[in-house]
A and B are shown apart, each in its own frame.
Chain A
Amino acid sequence: VRFAIWCAAMSRDAILGRVRAALDRPARSGPDRPVPPAPTDWPTEPDDPLTLFQSRFVALGGLWHGTADGADVAAVVAGLVPKPDDVAWVTRDPLVERLDLARGLTERGVTVVRSWREPGDPDRISVAVSGAVLAIADSGTFAVSADRHHGRLPGVLAPVHVVVITADQIAGTLGEALTRLAPLLATPTTSGVVLTSGPSRTGDIEGRLVVGVHGPGAIHCIMVGGAA
């Protein structure tokens, strides 16, 4: 083990040494200019973030459910669970909790689990219900943080993914979203942020678009009234 550590340290110094020696020589077509600041006037779309988000999300094949509130949200989600013995995984996202979706779904006869490990075989989960830390209007994207409330898997494990968000969670552009995500990525209790835009897709066989490859074939968005 000590030898392995020694070897690792050697190759670190060797690589850094080579890189530093190489950089002593200026490049032939070197950096042409300093990084210009990002333009702030883009996108030029006249739409407000909510309208833009809706159109981009739907263009990706996302299913839009308009605005609902309180118990109505549970009714909409329950309507997306096709069979009575299907299992819905409801995450512990603050908005999901505020809406009390777990109870609302249970009352409507849906089998609810709060952890994807609960059913033993995760393939029994047919719907994952989650929130998002924010959405990006320009690309129809949801961002979910990898921490104890959310996780990496809701957007990819089940064949159907349902996301509840509020209008104030929508950022216009990727740049805006990154500014808002930066503090989150600096939080020690967060192991990452995962972005999901539309259903899982592939074009690997003759370029034909197929959805639902490893992740969901259907992704639903329910707008919730009020603020997150």
Chain B
Amino acid sequence: MEPRADRFHEAAASALAQPALQQALAQATERFVQMRLAARAERPDWEELRARGRSIRWEAIGRLDQLLVQLEERVRANGGQVFWASDAADACRYVCDLATRHGVTLAVKSKSMATEEIGLNAALQQAGVTAVETDLGEFIIQLAGETPSHFLAPAIHWTRGQVGDLFERALGETRDDDPAALTRQARRALRRRFLDATLGITGANFAVAETGTVVILENEGNARLTTSLPRVHVAVMGVEKVIPRLGDLETLLPLLVRSATGQRLSSYVSLLNGPRRNGEEDGPDEFHLVLLDNGRSRILADPEARESLLCIRCAACLAACPVYRRAGGHAYGWVYQGPIGSVLTPQLIGAHRAAALPFASSLCGACRDACPVKIDIPRLLLHLRAHVVERVLGRASGTRRAGARLAAWVMASPVRFRWAGRLAYWTQRFLGRRGLAFLVKPVRAWSRAREVPPLPRRALRDLVRRHES
């Protein structure tokens, strides 16, 4: 998927101007928050669970090299094949070669962010393979030629009426706008594809190093069909998804599922140990695991940013974020949206292509509180802001530098600071809330989307002094 992460402000402004989108977003994000809170309340040991989950993820990241080698060994022992992909092109080439070798023309896919990240569908199309998304939300998005706007509910911004129109047009179905009827239409359209496809493509929520088990969570049953019917199964996963032990799932599954959808467990959890064995009736003849780096080792190399790799993609921070709740997923311009998207995207595609994202946050910390593995997202955003200022924006403009110097001069002396406050108050009195802001371009841009608070006539310290005397 081609990133368009360099135009956050424009995209967010356009989202804000669409009432239907605002309503869909408000309802969906509120629903996600309520479900998560209810599921969290049911576990009195939630904080303990978070602490344990965080430790497990830190252990996995800290022993990444060992665990990946162990995982590779175990997957091979289970009869699977492992491919290490340095970047998106590597991974796409491997899957396309695999498809060509097996004469695949039709592949079914279950929802996966890693394959979205590497643009696998487009690569397969070029290789003459039709890849059909089978998750209902993802299917809608693919039919419409759009991109997902949420980790779990890619069609979060669609209304039932729009889906009805789309299915009538694209599937030749009779127009309906009942979600149950629309779901049946999608089932009919996809059923045949499952039976005909010779390649099944999935991601992985976790991979257990100890047993070589790939763990896939879903609610619709499409991932299970994708990993049972086609002759070949390929799973593409970021290297950071490895976990040490099978028993770690006791902690990580409840954290992920309760934070994501508020369920006790996803409807379908598949623990897959490679291809089918002798006498088995279903399951693929071949299993391939693609271990994707694509910038993750670079994140690992930055001691300040390493924590980003703990993410288990539950999307709790998206619904919790006041910016995401208004701007929606498309404003972030790539696969990863919301607060964690603002952290991952600049690091994965380069800060110069997503310079606005670390600033698309009020640093309120709701994301950190919602995160099941307690990732300190505000700290990561500040770290990336510093990086963007130093490396991308480079030397600030003359006005900016002059402004900063002036501010430093004023703030360095209590007398100057007090007089500046009085001056600002009287300027506001005579010229209105924004004062002289319209004269300076950066300030004008800043105040376009923000309210300047009314300044008090007397500063706090004047009041204190009067009170004391």
List residues of A whose CB falls within 8 A of some B CB: 4, 8, 11-12, 14-16, 18-23, 25-36, 38-39, 42, 44, 56, 60, 115-117, 122-123, 136, 138-141, 146-148, 151-153, 155-157, 173-175, 178-179, 181-182, 185-186, 188-208, 210, 212-216
Residue among B61, B134, B159, B273 with max Cβ neighbours from chain A (10 Å): B273
Looking at chain B, what size class is its interface with the partner chain?
Answer: 35 or more
B265 in contact with A214 (CB, 8 Å):
no
Distance A153 CA – B226 CA, assembled complex (angstroms): 10
B213 in contact with A197 (CB, 8 Å):
no
Shortest CB distance B204–A (Å): 13
A191 in contact with B275 (CB, 8 Å):
yes
Shortest CB distance A71–B (Å): 27
Residue of B nearest to A193 (CB): B271
A29 in contact with B376 (CB, 8 Å):
yes
Q: Of A11, A44, A195, A207, which one neighbours B271 at CB under 8 angstroms?
A: A195
Shortest CB distance A73–B (Å): 23
The 8 closest A-B pairs by CB, nearest first: A215-B221, A148-B279, A22-B301, A204-B137, A18-B297, A31-B58, A175-B250, A22-B300
Residue B6, interface by CB 8 Å: no
B273 in contact with A190 (CB, 8 Å):
yes
Shortest CB distance B237–A (Å): 13
Q: Using a Cβ cutoff of 8 Å, how many contacts connect chains A and B?
A: 290
B278 in contact with A139 (CB, 8 Å):
no
Interface stretch (choices B62-70, B393-401, B414-422, B444-452): B62-70
Distance A197 CA – B221 CA, assembled complex (angstroms): 11
A210 in contact with B179 (CB, 8 Å):
yes
Residue B160, interface by CB 8 Å: yes
B268 in contact with A206 (CB, 8 Å):
no
Residue B246, interface by CB 8 Å: yes
Distance A141 CA – B217 CA, assembled complex (angstroms): 13
List residues of B whose CB falls within 8 A of some A CB: 24, 27-28, 31, 43-45, 48, 51-52, 54-56, 58-59, 61-62, 64-65, 68-69, 78, 83-86, 90, 97, 134-137, 140, 153-155, 158-160, 163, 179-180, 182-184, 186-187, 190-191, 194-195, 211, 213, 219-222, 224-225, 227-229, 239, 246-247, 249-251, 253-254, 261, 263-283, 291, 293, 297-298, 300-301, 303-304, 306-307, 376, 379
A194 in contact with B264 (CB, 8 Å):
no
Distance A48 CA – B213 CA, assembled complex (angstroms): 31
Q: Of A16, A146, A178, which one neighbours B280 at CB under 8 angstroms?
A: A146
Distance A117 CA – B249 CA, assembled complex (angstroms): 33
Residues of B close to A27: CB separation below 8 A: 58, 61-62, 303, 306-307
Between-chain CB contacts (< 8 Å), 21 pairs: A15-B84, A16-B69, A19-B68, A23-B64, A28-B306, A30-B58, A33-B55, A34-B55, A35-B56, A116-B282, A140-B264, A151-B228, A152-B224, A156-B221, A156-B224, A156-B228, A181-B271, A182-B211, A195-B269, A200-B220, A206-B158
Distance A174 CA – B153 CA, assembled complex (angstroms): 26
Residue among B44, B97, B268 with max Cβ neighbours from chain A (10 Å): B268
Shortest CB distance B184–A (Å): 8
Residues of B close to A207: CB separation below 8 A: 27-28, 31, 153
Q: A22-B300, A201-B220, A208-B160 are in contact. List 14 more A-B contacts (CB 8 A).
A: A19-B297, A27-B62, A35-B55, A147-B279, A182-B246, A185-B271, A186-B211, A191-B283, A195-B268, A203-B219, A204-B136, A205-B136, A205-B140, A213-B136
Distance A14 CA – B272 CA, assembled complex (angstroms): 28
Distance A60 CA – B163 CA, assembled complex (angstroms): 27
Residues of A close to B275: CB separation below 8 A: 191
A214 in contact with B52 (CB, 8 Å):
no
B52 in contact with A192 (CB, 8 Å):
no
Residue of A nearest to B83 (CB): A8
A28 in contact with B273 (CB, 8 Å):
no
Shortest CB distance B279–A (Å): 3
Q: Of A4, A42, A56, A139, which one neighbours B45 at CB under 8 angstroms?
A: A42
Residue of A nearest to B287 (CB): A191
A147 in contact with B280 (CB, 8 Å):
yes
Residues of B close to A141: CB separation below 8 A: 265, 269
Distance A16 CA – B59 CA, assembled complex (angstroms): 17
Residues of B close to A155: CB separation below 8 A: 221, 224, 268
Residue of A nearest to B208 (CB): A185
A185 in contact with B211 (CB, 8 Å):
yes
Residue of A nearest to B72 (CB): A12
Q: Of B28, B59, B134, B154, which one neighbours A214 at CB under 8 angstroms?
A: B134
A205 in contact with B307 (CB, 8 Å):
no
Residue of B nearest to A175 (CB): B250
A188 in contact with B153 (CB, 8 Å):
no
Residues of B close to A12: CB separation below 8 A: 84
Q: Of A146, A174, A205, which one neighbours B158 at CB under 8 angstroms?
A: A205
Residue of B nearest to A36 (CB): B52
Known: A175-B250, A210-B180. A191 touches B267 (CB 8 A): no
Distance A63 CA – B274 CA, assembled complex (angstroms): 32
A11 in contact with B90 (CB, 8 Å):
yes
A215 in contact with B55 (CB, 8 Å):
no
Residues of A close to B274: CB separation below 8 A: 191-192
B86 in contact with A148 (CB, 8 Å):
no
Residues of B close to A204: CB separation below 8 A: 135-137, 140, 153-155
Shortest CB distance B435–A (Å): 40
B264 in contact with A138 (CB, 8 Å):
yes
B276 in contact with A146 (CB, 8 Å):
yes
B86 in contact with A11 (CB, 8 Å):
yes
Residue of A nearest to B158 (CB): A205
Shortest CB distance B290–A (Å): 11
Residues of A close to B137: CB separation below 8 A: 202, 204
B64 in contact with A19 (CB, 8 Å):
yes
Q: Of A60, A152, A208, which one neighbours B270 at CB under 8 angstroms?
A: A152
Known: A18-B301, A27-B306, A195-B265. A117 touches B281 (CB 8 A): yes
